[in-house]
Amino acid sequence: MALPKYTEMRYRVWHYSYLVICTAVFVFLIAPLFVIIPLSFNAEQYIHFSDGMLALQPEAFSLRWYEDMIYGTKNPWGIAARNSVYYAFFSTIGATVLGTVAALGLSSRYMPYKQLIMSVLISPMIIPLIISGSAIFFSLAKLGLAATFPGIVIAHIILGTPFVVITVTATLSGFDDSITRAASSLGSTPTNTFFKITLPLITPGIISGALFAFVTSFDEIVVILFVAGGDRNLTTIPLQMWTGLREQLSPTIMAVATCLIVLSTLILIVTELLRRRSERIRGISAQ
């Protein structure tokens, strides 16, 4: 943002201090993440930048903590990663199907008690996780599902659906009804219209909702603390990190964290692509 030549001095000062403030905030947001990455390649056992690292000596860096993460006998990261992916996969399918279907109903002009139902469906996102966690635990325990695979998947479906409902409803709110009317006036059955017209148009919304549900389950820590009940075979990456962080900050955790940062970068790229695609589709449908 270049300033016009005639800008007064005080506004010039104000403008540059504004830019400095913005830079500082961006650094505050992103820098903590980047501190972790070099530390995970530390050759020493301590979590700090050694003199060798600061001097960029190659022997101060190593991959030993990544080896420890993968091959370390005491480290249950393998089981944790497998479980995390399983829970996230199944709960994403459940949350996406239930959430998308519900969003289709909620976007209808004829939906009765829309406000009330929407509030109920979104409540798992608003109510503090500590309350959700204990409530879900008590109800699963009553059904004998606490500390079981299906129990955890059910818990994660509950937490994931609000995100799917919100994103899909938002996509449908920009949806042009005349397209589906055109399809039916041309003799398409409602089912056919849905699969041939509506679904392809709202797919970006569904995928981004599914992504939210996936990340919600993959990162979820509070509810699983209650529901997994300390069973080592049911552990997840966040749960394992939580246990590790409570004992001691180890470089292995830094290695795991770095992997997770790489993963979130991938998710970010996917969401960005989705956003552009949906903007393009909207651009076409609006004109």
Partner 1 sequence: MTAEIRTSDGELLSVKLKKVERRRRTTAFLLAAPLLFFIVFAYVIPIFQMLGRSIDNAEMNSFLTETHEVMQTWDGSEMPGEDVTSTFYYELKTAVENKYHGKIATRLNYEKGGFTSLIKKTSRKLKNFDENDNFLDQFIDVHKKWGNIEYWQALKRGTDAYHFRKYLTTFDYEQKFDGSIERIPEKLRINVTLWLRTIFVAVGVTFCCFILAYPISHLLSVLPTRYSNLLMICVLLPFWTSLLVRTSSWMVLLQKQGVLNDTLVSLGFVADESRLELMYNMTGTFIAMTQILLPFMVLPLYSVMKTISPSLMRAATSMGATPFHAFRKIYFPLTYAGISAGSILVFVLAIGYYITPALVGGAKGILISNRIAYHMQQSLDWSLATAMATVLLIAVLVVYWLYNKIVGIDNMRLG
Nearer to partner 1, 231 or 272 (CB): 272
Q: How far is the CB of 187 from partner 1 (least distance, A)?
A: 18
Q: How far is the CB of 88 from partner 1 (least distance, A)?
A: 12
Choice from 118, 152, 168, 202 touching partner 1 (CB under 8 A): 118
Q: How far is the CB of 69 from partner 1 (least distance, A)?
A: 14
222 scored as a contact of partner 1 (CB under 8 A): yes
Q: Which residues between 154 and 173 bind partner 1 (CB under 8 A)? A: 154, 157-158, 161, 163, 165-167, 169-170, 173
Choice from 208, 217, 235, 252 touching partner 1 (CB under 8 A): 208
Query: With CB under 8 A as the contact rule, which of the stretches 67-75, 180-188, 196-204, 217-225 interacts with partner 1?
Result: 217-225
Query: With CB under 8 A as the contact rule, which of the stretches 56-64, 179-187, 196-204, 246-254 interacts with partner 1?
Result: 246-254
Choice from 4, 32, 58, 283 touching partner 1 (CB under 8 A): 32
Candidates 260, 257, 252; CA nearest to 73 is 252
Choice from 122, 174, 188, 197 touching partner 1 (CB under 8 A): 122
Candidates 154, 27, 16; CA nearest to 93 is 154
Say how many residues make up the chain.
287
198 is written with which tokens? 């509506």
The Cα 70–Cα 78 span in angstroms is 7
102 scored as a contact of partner 1 (CB under 8 A): yes
Query: With CB under 8 A as the contact rule, which of the stretches 57-65, 69-77, 109-117, 196-204 interacts with partner 1?
Result: 109-117
Q: Which residues between 33 and 92 bind partner 1 (CB under 8 A)? A: 33, 35-36, 39, 46-49
